Amino acid sequence: MTKTAAVEMVVVPCLRDNYAFLVHNRATQQTALIDAPEAAPIQAVLDGRGWTLSDILITHHHDDHIDGVGALRKGARVIGAKADVHRLPDLDLAVQDGDEVTVCGQTTHVLDVSGHTVGHIAFHMPDAGFAFTADSLMALGCGRLFEGTPAQMWESMQKLRALPDDTLICSGHEYTESNARFAASLDPDNRDLISRIKGIAAARAAGQATVPSTLTLEKRTNPFLRADLPEFKSVMGMADASAVDVFTKVRALKDRF
Ligand code: ZN
Ligand code: FE
């Protein structure tokens, strides 16, 4: 659980390896859910704390992010991408890149982060320092490209990389250990990565989540955020290649890893 002055955040493990997030404002008694992989574990946290959902924010249309919406929504305002209204649960508010909404008293920016799907959005709460990235930027990884192109996902990575360094990246799955094995296969001498991997192994051995992570750490260790850095290009043997080509190569290698 992470506390800031105005809101606290709770990570809720769901299904096999999904994460949902609850943001609660004690002063206003509002609670927002970001993604709803399944209702029961989320409802259990709400019941345990005496919280009622005021908002449900949806990042993208995949079942493992929306299946719980119907059971949980009750009176909550459901917010999702305008581009995906045809394949999301009924929305009370349809949003797009650049929109600003107030959720739990927090100004929340909507970013289009297409790549995993076309229409995937992320939510950034700058005052709290939270970014809900689901299957775009993930801990040491990024989502598989089911619909978008590598160029689209690389653009999304750059948007997220531009957020403040201390932003907490709240991503949608516990894939970090396998992402770490892949990252180490590309960049075995990266000291930040080596020490991060030790921390990941310790956390997982203790049954702890490796999500959220800080953007600073992702920038130093996540190969999908590093496609334009000279040191990473040379590690890839692609010193003269474009960032998009390096990103494309990294994504292709990960798909076969
Ligand atoms: Zn997905
Ligand atoms: Fe997912």
Structural tokens at position 96: 């797009």
pLDDT on residue 183 = 98
Q: What are phi and psi of 188, to 5 degrees?
A: -65, -20
- Contact between residue 226 and residue 140 where contact means Cβ atoms under 8 Å apart: no
Find the radius of gyration of the CA atoms of the chain: 18
Q: What is the mean pLDDT of each run of 10 residues along the chain (257 residues)?
A: 74 98 97 98 98 98 98 98 98 98 98 98 98 98 98 98 98 98 98 98 97 98 98 98 98 97
Tell me the CATH number of domain 2-256, given options 3.30.1050.10, 3.30.450.20, 1.10.10.10, 3.60.15.10.
3.60.15.10
Phi, psi of 67 (to 5 degrees): -60, -30
| Interval between CA 163 and ligand 2 midpoint (Å) | 22
Give 65 Cα–ligand 2 centroid separation in angstroms.
Answer: 6
Indicate which ligand has the atom closest to the C-alpha of 120. Answer: 1
Give pLDDT, residue 215: 98
Ligand 2 centroid–CA 100 distance in Å is: 24
pTM, to two decimals:
0.97
- Residue 242 makes CB contacts below 8 A (sequence gap 6+) with none
Q: List Cβ neighbours of 61 (8 Å cut-off, separation of 6 or more).
A: 84, 87, 88, 117, 119
Rounded Cα distance between 146 and 96, Å, is 20
Q: Which residues surround ligand 2, an ion (CB under 5 A)?
A: 64, 135, 172
> What is the rounded distance in angstroms from the CA atom of residue 179 to the CA atom of residue 148?
20
Q: How do the domains of the chain map onto residue ranges? A: 2-256
Tokens of 230: 């000279």
